[in-house]
């Protein structure tokens, strides 16, 4: 007796086998071979068997691990979507209900996802076709991260350019997923920040609809203007006790995330749910997360006690992109340090550097992006030193 | 008594099909083969032709570089076939066994009464020298070198490996003679590693080390790393208890006896048991007695992680005492990677849930379970390798063929089998053992 699943599986497999010749060498669409292959392996685990070495293999593969990262991002995505609507509704004095907020959020975030995936995957598929390789699923995560770390009002065309830059210059020129030096998602954000600073900073971009209202005088659905005295600044822009009091922001707001900021990064609680998933499945390193928090607290408190800031050190963990960066970006297994001891150093320096930039660089209050990209660059050096030292120490025992 | 070395890292594979501790039958060998491919780095030089008569212990081929290292027939009979592959590479020499076995006579004696030179020439002539493996590189030991030490692993952690206690428990006397002989020939200390209670505890003339841990803790390479790591310029020899027993039998009885108990393991065969066989026995000869093959079976001489696929007409390896039978996994699994719970598949990763049932054993087949990618998740490997080396860096150095880096990251300390667990868990489906093996080949070419 065949089960229903088997019947569906066999039917699908039949269809795949039937259309396969069209896309192979000598067929009508050989230039779509990589794309076809990507969709085929998406539906079916390939029937390849081991040839050399170990005859049996673990059933885990990159697809599985990466999809779990996407799963871990979902809480931040869901909260971010609601928060877009919430911030919009506050800014324009609208009385949106829950579903209206979610609906507005979806309408704003879906285009970002479409641009991110269409541009990014398009380049990946083309690259794989040119190199004659299988499409690597690394962009599955990168493409999900990018919309979550940009301002919701970012123009789509700039996003498209940034994605293209990140995938081509950040990844493909090095040889594709697994070979890159910098985290591609952060590279896209850095590209936007340095190339289109007016569209990436200031007060207007962080709340949905505001930049359009300011330039065109229209906004979504209702034509109400901005609420009197409304400031779209993210908490980071005025990160003092007084600044928070003026905006009516409490630490609890920062933890929950109903404040302005990039889509996915505001809610610490949603990010923590993701962190639990990543640590439980062993995909991201808890060492990097812990040491990054330690680094941020250390510099945060040094700044607090020396009077650089009047915010206690733990505020640094709740503000801006710190939590999101620590959990999802710093722990990127490709670009982070790969030795166990190196992870402690790497994470600590990210946290420390992030807060240092926040405290001492008034021109750019958000330090996480630069801290991670900077440490990405130094991760191989950290590993090199750790390997040298630990190998020497180990062999010394036997000398 | 030395301290127990506890290895925290590693992975015991829950592969179904451990052999039950009973000997079902004795296989009378019909066709037996000695394969030059069992010996790394060997360039063989044939000394017989098809149709020649040989006795058990008569040479079939020799090492071209060291012509005094002979490789001998385990049985008496007629040389049936010289099997060659591409570019006339010698793959195997098969011998059709006589009904009545005749043995080459070697001058026997207690190792205590023989000189090192006498033992050495006995081993070389009898073909048992080939049981000594030299590290680095895992080649047949060079008779002209003096190793730093000799290492013997007294336990095996490979998936469903033969239980040494069961297969060799009654041969302690021979193993002791083998140890004495090797100690004399090498002029070095013999280290024996054990796990828990073992019949080998009684061995003399050895330094005993105790280990605890999951696979590959039983691999002699891991043990060497924790006892006395191999540095550049050093050589050590390793030998298995199985081959020590054969050496002991040669010395005490004066004839070459390569018979052994062979474990029949792997999921999906009717009976997991032991049979009495011999080195080089044909796998098909089991079939007549035990069961009818399934069409898509993979025949492996050795264990599922680092054994050799030998095919339906293959032969047991010279140093192996295990056959593993695996099902070929050439099927398409719909949305396999997206299935939240794949209860029938095993994964060491917490991305699946097999870690919740640690006692369950799985029918693992040969499906690769994914496409080959570049290294992405570079931290999963150190959890399954109980060594102070950096496996990803070493593997990448081997891929790049960078000898300086390979040296730095510990190529002298490993053989492919030591990194087999890394290959098993690899989400990028990289061929680790093949990569390391190619790296070692490069080292051999450049350094030796």
The answer to whether B264 and B323 are in contact (CB under 8 A) is: yes
Determine the pLDDT at residue A72. Answer: 95
Distance to chain A for B300, nearest Cα, Å? 9
A331 touches chain B (CB under 8 A): no
Position A156 confidence tier, pLDDT thresholds 50, 70, 90: very high
Whether B38 has a pLDDT exceeding 80, the answer reads: yes
Taking CA B84 as the corner, what is the angle to CA B79 and CA B88, rounded to the nearest 5 degrees? 130
Q: Does B351 touch chain A (CB under 8 A)?
A: yes
**A62-71, A253-262, A346-355, B214-223: which has the minimum mean pLDDT?**
A253-262
Angle, nearest 10°, between helix axes A62-91 and A98-131? 140
Q: What is d(CA B84, CA A300) in angstroms, rounded to the nearest whole number? A: 71
Which residue would you say has higher pLDDT here, A4 or A336?
Answer: A336
List pLDDT tens digits, range B374-429: 898 888 899 999 999 999 999 999 999 999 999 999 999 999 999 999 999 999 99
Q: Cβ contacts (< 8 Å) between A177 and chain B: which residues?
A: 373-374, 376
Number of other residues whose CB lies within 10 A of the CB of residue A240: 12
**Minimal CA–CA distance to B256: which of B372, B351, B128?**
B128
| Residue A22 contacts B where some CB pair is shorter than 8 Å | no
Least confident of A213-222, A265-274, B46-55, B211-220: A213-222
Q: What distance in Å separates the CA atoms of residue B266 and residue A56, rounded to the nearest whole number?
A: 11
Distance from the Cα of B439 to chain A's closest Cα (Å) equals 14
- Mean pLDDT, chain B, integer: 91
* Interchain CB contact of A52 with B (< 8 Å): yes
B1, pLDDT greater than 60:
no
What pLDDT is stored for residue B8 in this prediction?
92
What b/e string do you get for B252-283 counting C-beta neighbours within 10 Å, with b at 16 or more? bebbbbbbbbbbbbbbebeebbbbbbbbbbbb
Q: How confident is the model at residue B294 (pLDDT cuts 50, 70, 90)?
A: low
- Identify whether A64 is preceded by a cis peptide bond (ω within 30 of 0): no
B353-377 residue pLDDT tens? 888 888 899 999 999 988 888 898 8
Q: What is the band of A367 on the pLDDT scale with cuts at 50, 70, 90?
A: confident
State the Cα–Cα distance between residues A166 and A164, nearest whole angstrom.
6
Query: A222 pLDDT band (50/70/90 cuts)?
Result: low
pLDDT of residue A223: 54
Q: ∠A104-A110-A111 over CA atoms, to 5°?
A: 110
β-sheet with B297-301: strand ranges across: B23-26, B274-278, B259-265, B322-327, B297-301, B308-309
| pLDDT at B33 (0 to 100) | 94
CB atoms B349 and A65 under 8 Å = yes
Question: Between these two residues, B41 and B190, which has the higher pLDDT value?
Answer: B190
Contact between residue A78 and residue A58 where contact means Cβ atoms under 8 Å apart: no
Per-residue pLDDT at A246: 78
Structure tokens at A98: 């829950």
Question: What pLDDT is attached to residue A110?
Answer: 95
Mean pLDDT value across residues B50-79: 93
| Cα dihedral across residues B108, B111, B113, B114: positive or negative | positive
Is the pLDDT assigned to residue A243 strictly greater than 80?
no
Query: What is the predicted pLDDT for the residue at B290?
Result: 59
State the ipTM, two decimals: 0.90
Q: Name chain A contacts of B371, Cβ cutoff 8 Å.
A: 41, 46, 48, 61-62, 134
Say if residue B169's pLDDT is above 70.
yes
What number is the average pLDDT over the span A68-73? Answer: 94
Residue A98 pLDDT? 92
B86 is written with which tokens?
């591409």
Task: For residue B360, give how far its alpha carbon lies from the nearest alpha carbon of chain A (Å).
Answer: 15
Give the model's pLDDT for residue B448.
62
Burial class (CB in 10 A: 0-12, 13-18, 19+), B64: exposed
Helices (DSSP H) in B93-213: which residue ranges? 116-126, 164-168, 172-186
Task: Tell whether A389 is within 8 A of chain B (Cβ).
Answer: no
Sheet with B189-194, strands from edge to edge, namely B4-7, B207-213, B189-194, B149-153, B236-238, B133-135, B139-140
pLDDT digits (tens, 9 = 90+) for A290-324: 999 999 999 999 999 998 888 888 888 988 889 99
**Residue-by-residue DSSP string for B309-338:** E--TT-B--TT--EEEEEE-----EETGGG
Structural element, H or E, at residue B34:
strand B31-34
**What are A166-204's pLDDT values in tens digits?**
999 999 999 888 889 999 999 999 999 888 887 776 666
pLDDT at B119 over 80: yes
Interface mutation target, options B370, B394, B435, chain A, most CBs of A under 10 Å: B370
**What residues does B405 pair with on adjacent strands?**
none
B275: Cα separation from own chain's centroid: 18
| pLDDT per residue as tens digits for the range B237-255 | 999 999 999 999 999 999 9
Question: Which pairs count as long-range contacts for A110-114, CB under 8 Å and 24+ apart, including other chains?
Answer: A111/A156, A112/A146, A112/A147, A112/A150, A112/A152, A112/A154, A112/A156, A112/A159, A112/A263, A113/A143, A113/A144, A113/A147
Residues 6+ apart with CB under 8 A from A85: A96, A100, A101, A102, A103, A104, A105, A208
Report CB contact under 8 Å: B351, A175: no
Looking at B11-25, B85-99, B325-339, B367-381, which range is the least confident one? Answer: B325-339
**Residue carrying structure tokens 């793959």:** B91
Distance to chain A for B61, nearest Cα, Å: 27
Mean pLDDT over B220-225 rounds to 95
User: Which residues are within 8 A (CB) of A342 and not within 5 positions of it... i.e. 6 or more apart?
Assistant: A379, A382, A383, A385, A386
Whether A56 sits inside 8 A of B366 (CB atoms) is yes
Cα–Cα distance measured from residue A265 to residue A78, given in angstroms and rounded to the nearest whole number: 11
Can you give the pLDDT at residue A221?
A: 55
- Are the beta carbons of B94 and B36 closer than 8 angstroms? no
A61–B371 CB contact, under 8 Å: yes
Could you tell me the end-to-end alpha-carbon distance of chain B, in angstroms, rounded to an integer? 38
Work out how many CB contacts closer than 8 A connect A with B: 208
Question: Is A47 an 8 Å CB contact of chain B?
Answer: yes
Mean pLDDT value across chain A: 87
Average pLDDT over every residue of A113-117: 95
Is any Cβ of chain B less than 8 angstroms from the Cβ of A45? Answer: yes
pLDDT score at A1:
55
Contact B347 A50 (CB under 8 A): no
**Which long-range CB contacts under 8 A does B437-443 form with residues at least 24 apart?**
B438/B398, B439/B394, B439/B397, B439/B398, B439/B401, B439/B406, B439/B411, B440/B40, B440/B136, B440/B137, B440/B138, B440/B411, B440/B415, B440/B416, B441/B41, B442/B398, B442/B401, B442/B403, B442/B406, B443/B136, B443/B137, B443/B403, B443/B406, B443/B411
Which whole number is the average pLDDT over B303-317?
Answer: 91
Which chain A residues touch B369 with a CB distance below 8 Å? Answer: 45, 57-61
Q: Which of residues 381-410 of B touch A (CB under 8 A)?
A: 382, 388-390, 392-393, 408-410
CB of A394 within 8 Å of any CB in chain B? yes
pLDDT-derived band at A336 (thresholds 50, 70, 90) equals: very high
The CA distance from B367 to the nearest CA of chain A, in Å, is 4
Cis bond leading into B216, ω under 30°?
A: yes
Q: How far is B20 from chain A (nearest CA, A)?
A: 22
The pLDDT of residue B156: 93
Q: Give the relative orientation of helices A156-168 and A98-131 as an angle to the nearest 10 degrees.
A: 40
DSSP code string of A266-324: S-HHHHHHHHHHHHHTT-S-HHHHHHHHHHHHHHHHHHHHTTS-SS-TTHHHHSTTHHH
Task: Give the residue with greater pLDDT, A148 vs A25.
Answer: A148
Q: Does residue A231 have a pLDDT over 70? A: no
Total-model pTM: 0.91
Rg over CA atoms, chain B: 21
List the Cα angle A363/A322/A369 in 5-degree steps: 55
Q: Is A333 on the interface with B (CB under 8 A)?
A: yes
Task: Say which of A68, A138, A339 has its CB closest to residue B351.
Answer: A68
- Measured distance CA(A10)–CA(A153) in Å, rounded: 46
Phi, psi of A236 (to 5 degrees): -65, -30
What is residue A232's predicted lDDT score, i.e. its pLDDT? 63
B379 CB within 8 Å of a chain A CB: yes
Tell me the residues of chain A between 280 and 319 that have a Cβ less than 8 Å away from chain B: 280-283, 285
Please list the residues that pair with B53 across neighbouring strands.
B78
- Residue A197 is predicted with a pLDDT of 81
* Cα of B303 to nearest chain A Cα, Å: 9
Residues of A with CB below 8 A from B329's CB? 47, 49
Query: Residue B345's CB: how many other CB atoms inside 10 A?
Result: 21
The closest of B208, B251, B243, B292 to B110, measured between CA atoms, is: B251
Cα–Cα distance between A154 and B14 in angstroms, integer?
52
* DSSP tally for chain A: helices H, then strands E: 17, 1
In order of A286, A326, A347, the CA distances from A386 in angstroms are: 19, 22, 14
Q: Are A231 and A203 in contact (CB under 8 A)?
A: yes
Partner-chain contact B367 A13, CB within 8 Å = no
- Please, which pLDDT band fits residue A205 given cuts at 50, 70 and 90? confident
Which of A12-21, A166-175, A211-220, B404-413 shows the lowest per-residue confidence on average (mean pLDDT)?
A211-220
Report yes or no: A205 and A149 within 8 Å, Cβ to Cβ.
Answer: no
- Compute CA A212 distance to the chain's CA centroid, rounded to the nearest angstrom: 25
A234 near A260, Cβ under 8 Å?
yes
Cβ <8 Å between A5 and B334: yes
The reply to whether A65 touches chain B by the CB within 8 Å rule is: yes
Q: Return the higher-pLDDT residue of A49 and B317.
A: B317
Tell me the DSSP string of B131-149: G-EEETTTEEPPTT---SE
Q: Do A61 and B427 touch (CB under 8 A)?
A: yes
Give me the pLDDT at residue B166, please: 93
Q: Which residues of A touch B332 (CB under 8 A)?
A: 9, 13, 44-47
Q: Give the pLDDT band (50/70/90) at residue A33.
A: confident
Strands annotated E in B147-294: 149-153, 189-194, 207-213, 236-238, 259-265, 274-278
Q: Kindly determine whether residue A53 and residue B423, on different chains, have CB atoms separated by under 8 Å.
A: yes
Phi-psi bin for A93: left (phi > 0), alpha (psi -120 to 50), beta?
A: left
């Amino acid at each position: 007796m065949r089960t229903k699943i088997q019947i569906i599986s066999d039917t699908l497999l039949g269809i795949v086998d039937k259309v396969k010749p069209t896309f192979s060498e000598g067929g009508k669409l050989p230039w779509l071979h990589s794309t076809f292959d990507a969709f085929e392996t998406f539906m079916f685990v390939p029937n390849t068997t081991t040839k050399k070495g170990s005859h049996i293999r673990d059933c885990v593969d990159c697809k599985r691990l990466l999809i779990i990262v996407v799963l871990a991002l979902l809480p931040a995505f869901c909260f971010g979507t609601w928060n877009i609507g919430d911030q919009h509704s506050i800014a324009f004095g609208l009385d949106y209900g829950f579903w209206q907020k979610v609906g507005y959020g979806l309408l704003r975030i879906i285009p970002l996802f479409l641009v991110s995936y269409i541009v990014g995957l398009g380049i990946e598929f083309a690259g794989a076709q040119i190199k004659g390789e299988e499409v690597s699923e690394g962009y599955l995560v990168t493409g999900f991260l990018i919309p979550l770390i940009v301002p919701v009002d970012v123009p789509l065309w700039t996003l498209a350019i940034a994605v293209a830059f990140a995938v081509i210059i950040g990844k493909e020129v090095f040889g594709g997923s697994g070979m890159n030096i910098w985290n591609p998602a952060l590279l896209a954000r850095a590209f936007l920040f340095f190339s289109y600073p007016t569209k990436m900073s200031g007060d207007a971009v962080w709340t949905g609809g505001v930049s359009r209202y300011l330039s065109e005088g229209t906004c979504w659905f209702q034509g109400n203007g901005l609420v009197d005295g409304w400031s779209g600044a993210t908490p980071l822009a005025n990160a003092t006790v007084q600044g928070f009091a003026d905006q009516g922001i409490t630490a609890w707001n920062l933890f929950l995330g109903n404040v302005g900021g990039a889509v996915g990064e505001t809610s610490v609680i949603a990010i923590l749910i993701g962190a639990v998933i990543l640590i439980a499945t062993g995909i991201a390193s808890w060492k990097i997360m812990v040491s990054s928090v330690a680094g941020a607290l250390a510099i945060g408190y040094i700044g607090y006690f020396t009077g650089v800031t009047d915010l206690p050190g733990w505020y640094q963990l709740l503000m801006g992109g710190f939590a999101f960066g620590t959990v999802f970006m710093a722990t990127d297994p490709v670009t982070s340090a790969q030795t166990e001891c190196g992870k402690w150093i790497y994470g600590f320096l990210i946290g420390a550097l992030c807060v240092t930039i926040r405290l001492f660089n008034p021109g750019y209050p958000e330090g996480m992006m630069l801290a991670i990209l900077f440490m990405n660059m130094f991760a191989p050096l950290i590993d090199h030193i750790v390997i040298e030292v630990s190998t020497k120490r180990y062999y010394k025992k036997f000398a | 008594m030395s301290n127990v070395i506890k290895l925290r890292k590693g992975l015991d594979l829950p592969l179904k099909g451990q052999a039950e501790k009973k000997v079902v039958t004795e296989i009378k060998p019909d066709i037996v083969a000695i394969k030059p491919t069992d010996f790394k780095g060997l360039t063989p030089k044939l000394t017989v032709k098809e149709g020649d008569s040989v006795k058990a212990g008569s040479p079939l081929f020799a090492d071209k570089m060291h012509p005094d290292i002979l490789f001998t027939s385990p049985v008496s009979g007629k040389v049936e076939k010289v099997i060659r592959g591409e570019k006339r590479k010698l793959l195997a020499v098969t011998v059709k066994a006589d009904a009545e076995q005749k043995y080459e006579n070697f001058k026997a004696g207690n190792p205590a009464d023989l000189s090192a030179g006498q033992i050495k020439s006995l081993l070389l002539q009898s073909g048992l020298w080939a049981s000594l493996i030299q590290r680095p590189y895992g080649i047949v030991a060079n008779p002209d070198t003096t190793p730093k030490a000799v290492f013997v692993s007294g336990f095996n952690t490979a998936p469903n490996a033969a239980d040494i206690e069961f297969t060799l428990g009654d041969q302690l006397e021979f193993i002791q003679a083998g140890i004495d002989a090797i100690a004399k020939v090498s002029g070095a200390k013999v280290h024996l590693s054990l796990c828990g209670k073992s019949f080998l505890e009684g061995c003399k003339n050895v330094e005993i080390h105790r280990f605890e841990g999951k696979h590959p803790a039983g691999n002699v390479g891991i043990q060497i790393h924790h006892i006395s790591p191999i540095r550049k310029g050093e050589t050590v020899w390793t030998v298995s208890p199985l081959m020590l027993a054969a050496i002991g039998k040669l010395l005490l009885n004066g004839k070459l006896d390569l018979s052994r108990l062979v474990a029949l393991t792997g999921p999906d065969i009717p009976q997991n048991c032991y049979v009495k066989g011999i080195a080089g026995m044909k796998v098909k000869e089991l079939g007549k007695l035990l069961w009818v093959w399934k069409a898509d079976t993979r025949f492996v001489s050795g264990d599922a992680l680092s054994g050799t696929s030998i095919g339906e007409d293959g032969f047991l390896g010279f140093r192996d005492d295990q056959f593993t039978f695996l099902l070929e996994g050439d099927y398409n699994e719909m949305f396999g990677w997206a299935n939240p719970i794949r209860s029938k598949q095993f994964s060491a990763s917490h991305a699946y849930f097999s870690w919740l049932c640690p006692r369950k054993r799985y029918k693992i087949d040969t499906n690769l379970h994914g496409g080959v990618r570049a290294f992405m998740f570079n931290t999963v490997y150190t959890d399954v390798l109980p060594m102070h080396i950096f496996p990803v860096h070493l593997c990448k150095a081997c891929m790049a063929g960078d000898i300086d880096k390979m040296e730095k990251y510990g190529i002298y300390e490993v053989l492919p089998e030591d990194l087999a667990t890394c290959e098993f868990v690899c989400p990028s489906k990289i061929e680790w053992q093949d990569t390391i093996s190619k790296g070692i080949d490069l080292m051999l070419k450049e350094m030796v």
